[in-house]
Amino acid sequence: MARQDRMTQTGTRRITVVSILLLVLAMTGPMQAEWMIAGCEEKMTWNEQGEQLFFPDAAAKDAVCLIDIGGNRLSPKIIATLPLANSVYGPPTNLVITPDEKLAFVSNPVKIVDTDGKPAVAPDNKLHLIDLEGTPRHISTIDVGQQPSGMDISPDGKLLLIANRAENAVSVLSIAGKSAALIGSVDVGVPTAAVTFTPNGRRALIVQKQHNKVGILHVRGTKVTYAPRQDINVGISPYNVAVCPRGSIALVANSGVTGGNDGNVDTVSVIDLEAKPAHVISAVTVGDGPEGLAISPTGRLAAAVLIRGSQNARANPATAWAYHKNGSVAILSIRGKIVRKIEEIEVGGMPEGVVFSDDGKYIYVGNFLSSDVSILKVDGRKVTNTGRTLTLPGHPGAMR
């Protein structure tokens, strides 16, 4: 009888544990996706001779992929593909997700126009809003500045800044619920390619590619001002910028004279953001043409994507020696304010965007010419290419 009582008690405890787990699941609801967004452009590409090809009629095939990397990091799942115009022109940061992962923004920097019977690139000014709750869907498109390129959202999710390369200005938008409104622009006086907030949201860094500088914007609520005297001289043709989670340093990808197609190594500048004034304290030699750039949420590693001649002319005798079928990723170790390159990993053809998973254990690299995403595994400071890829329905020109 005593044994039967114990068995009954054990069974009751098991039922209670299961009941509690079911209650917790019911209260928390379904698992929220960990979103990665990729913009695929079909209206232009490059052939093996390095010639740029235009396909104006294919503009309607541009797409934005919403990808869940939280369910299985080795096998990300495309949840939705939306037919939205976007472009590989500019740094691969012309899209962004709000901190609460409920809304996404995608800009279309350029469009294809007819010039004397020949296709050519012209600035566009469209910004798409995507609702990420439930099944992702396009909810609106608004006009912003000319050639909206790199963009970023404030840590509190209330402000969106967009670098406009054809307008010498940064657009300022307020975000409320599932809408955004253009509330002003900051005149910078020179083209800006990318922008990123510092973790406290009080400053934003803007990349001035043609002038080899990074500028500083000061943010107070919705008021954004530019301080030109605080411009920081960096490397040749800076194209992208990222700030470490602590806000102590920023990294700047200097793409070099030809943007990664001449075989010569380029650098990543390290800016001390705690210094007064903020300034470059070191430069890390990374390889040919760093463009995509991301810092791990752990702050221990950074990934600088190298074009490495993979957009180059295979048959051009002047540059054939610099050609590689595939690009690569330079892995940088961060210890305090000391940054150094620790390895380089080959990925696909003409890699552009790069993303760390929220836990910092995986890196995803979008390969434009290969039409896929390379998946890399992070173990401490060791990074390896898993050999796994995610095939996309187009050419990923940007990824966040």
Instruction: Flag whether 25 is in a domain.
Output: no
CA 21 to chain centre: 37
Residue span of the structural domain in which 360 resides: 32-399
What are the tens digits of pLDDT across the range 129-148? 999 999 999 999 999 999 99
Quick one: pLDDT at residue 312? 67
Mean pLDDT of 318-339: 91
Instruction: Flag whether 93 is in a domain.
Output: yes
pLDDT band at 313, cuts 50/70/90?
A: low
Higher-scoring residue by pLDDT: 115, 165: 165
Instruction: Flag whether 124 is in a domain.
Output: yes
- Flag whether pLDDT at 10 surpasses 80: no
Instruction: Flag whether 349 is in a domain.
Output: yes
Higher-scoring residue by pLDDT: 12, 306: 306
Q: What is the largest CA-CA distance in the chain?
A: 97
Mean pLDDT of 261-270: 94
- Percent of the chain exceeding pLDDT 90 equals 78
Q: Nearest-CA neighbor of 162 among 141, 186, 179, 178?
A: 186
If 0-12 CB within 10 Å is exposed, 13-18 middle and 19+ buried, where does residue 81 land?
middle
If 0-12 CB within 10 Å is exposed, 13-18 middle and 19+ buried, where does residue 232 land?
buried
Instruction: Flag whether 78 is in a domain.
Output: yes
Angle subtended at Cα 135 by Cα 129 and Cα 139, rounded to the nearest 5 degrees: 25
Quick one: pLDDT at residue 310? 86
- Percent of the chain exceeding pLDDT 70 equals 89
Quick one: pLDDT at residue 258? 84
Quick one: pLDDT at residue 26? 41
What are the tens digits of pLDDT across the range 214-228? 999 999 999 999 999
What are the tens digits of pLDDT across the range 244-261? 999 999 999 999 988 888
Quick one: pLDDT at residue 100? 95
Q: What is the pTM of this model?
A: 0.90
Instruction: Flag whether 113 is in a domain.
Output: yes
Cis peptide bond prior to 136, omega within 30° of 0: no
- Flag whether pLDDT at 394 surpasses 60: yes
What are the tens digits of pLDDT across the range 26-42? 444 445 689 999 999 99
Instruction: Flag whether 26 is in a domain.
Output: no
Per the structure, the count of domains in the chain is 1
- Flag whether pLDDT at 314 surpasses 60: no
Question: Mean pLDDT over all residues of the chain?
Answer: 90
- Asked if 392 contacts 399 with a C-beta cutoff of 8 angstroms, the reply is no
Distances in Å between the Cα of 361 and the Cα atoms of 39, 74, 364 are 23, 11, 10
- Flag whether pLDDT at 11 surpasses 90: no
* Alpha-carbon gap, residue 78 to 31, rounded angstroms: 16
- Flag whether pLDDT at 373 surpasses 90: yes
Higher-scoring residue by pLDDT: 240, 59: 240
Quick one: pLDDT at residue 238? 97
Which CATH number characterizes residue 350's domain? 2.130.10.10
Instruction: Flag whether 71 is in a domain.
Output: yes
Quick one: pLDDT at residue 3? 47
Quick one: pLDDT at residue 47? 73
Quick one: pLDDT at residue 49? 67
